Amino acid sequence: MKKMLEPAPMRVGVAAHKLGLHPFTVRRWIKQGKINALRVGNEARIPAAEIARLMGKLPKSVVVLYGRVSGYDQQDDLQSQMEALRTWAKQERSG
């Protein structure tokens, strides 16, 4: 399985440009807690995921479905459970 690397956190100026804001506004929002930022020395860095959140572009989340039966002879029950879970997950993701 290939591990995805998250982009490096952005400087305030770069983040402000992406958000269409002034850097002073971004710094003020960091102080107010509206934007989550990391401290790197004296500078604040904003993670790419935080920029995506503010822009309304959230990454797709992973859904893990888990079905269980108590015995091997209940495989048919397990299959029907898993199909019900898949149907539910598709409905939840579509709207």
Alpha helices in 33-94 (DSSP H): 48-54, 75-94
Letter for the amino acid at 94? S
61 among known catalytic residues: no
**Per the residue annotation, which of 61, 70, 80, 94 is the catalytic one?**
70
Q: In degrees rounded to 5, what are phi and psi of residue 51?
A: -65, -45
Burial of 33 (0-12, 13-18, 19+ CB in 10 A): exposed
- Catalytic (active-site) positions: 70
